[in-house]
Chains A and B, each alone.
With several copies, the nearest count.
Chain A
């Protein structure tokens, strides 16, 4: 795969049965980053996790009733940076108001964003006119 450029733009129906597919597509991408010097198996697993969490959130929290319920996932490599975007069309939420800490031991929910923040270098969420975008970045060393 070309050293410094890669983009993939994927749309799947907003249903949880697609999570395993998007997760394994993310793994495929990591396996093909020929120039990545780190542990490619670990990277593949981590991308599977963060994509599963982010697309899962877009499905659970981010679907609008008016729009066709599809989720858009973009994976891009620019130079040594990996950028993952998950687009949703829901109400959106305020990422900054969520604590960055690990949820309490016995909370059943709330570990998705914690995992994304732990495994990626940065996570942001922005509302645009065309919908909301969760963006995760990671420097590939």
Chain B
């Protein structure tokens, strides 16, 4: 799994450089998210701008990150959803669960 992490005091941005998230790499995504949260960040932004396709196991991996962030009282935000990816959140109603912003720059750090 090709991820890029950009950490600062205020937030970590995890950029997913994969066109496709499915059962083949969802486990790795889950681990990457947990690692990023274990580093103690308060706000984790997961940027999906490169992702064209996500299946239910990819959504499950993101949910696992979201729940882990909640436990640690960290904020978990998704950005850069392409139309097909967004429609997967809508079909499964997970767009109501996640905090979703258009661009990384749109996420206000201390709201």
Chains A, B in direct contact (C-beta < 8 Å): yes
Binding site for B on A (CB under 8 A): 16-17, 19-20, 23, 45, 48-49, 52-53, 56, 59-60, 102, 105-112, 114-115, 118-119
For chain B, residues 44 to 99, give those with C-beta under 8 angstroms from any C-beta of chain A. Answer: 53, 55-57, 59-61, 63-64, 67, 84, 87-88, 91-94, 96-97
B94 to A, closest residue via Cβ: A105
With contacts A53-B55, A111-B92 taken as known, whether A60 is within 8 angstroms of B23 at the C-beta atoms is yes
Would B92 and A102 count as touching, CB distance under 8 A? yes
With contacts A16-B24, A19-B24 taken as known, whether A102 is within 8 angstroms of B93 at the C-beta atoms is yes
With contacts A20-B20, A45-B84, A59-B23 taken as known, whether A52 is within 8 angstroms of B55 at the C-beta atoms is yes
For the residues of B in contact with A, the DSSP-based class is helix
With contacts A49-B88, A105-B97 taken as known, whether A111 is within 8 angstroms of B60 at the C-beta atoms is yes
Would you list 16 pairs from A and B whose C-beta atoms are within 8 A, ordered by A residue?
A: A19-B24, A20-B24, A45-B84, A52-B23, A52-B55, A60-B23, A102-B92, A102-B93, A105-B97, A107-B63, A108-B64, A109-B56, A114-B92, A115-B56, A115-B88, A115-B91
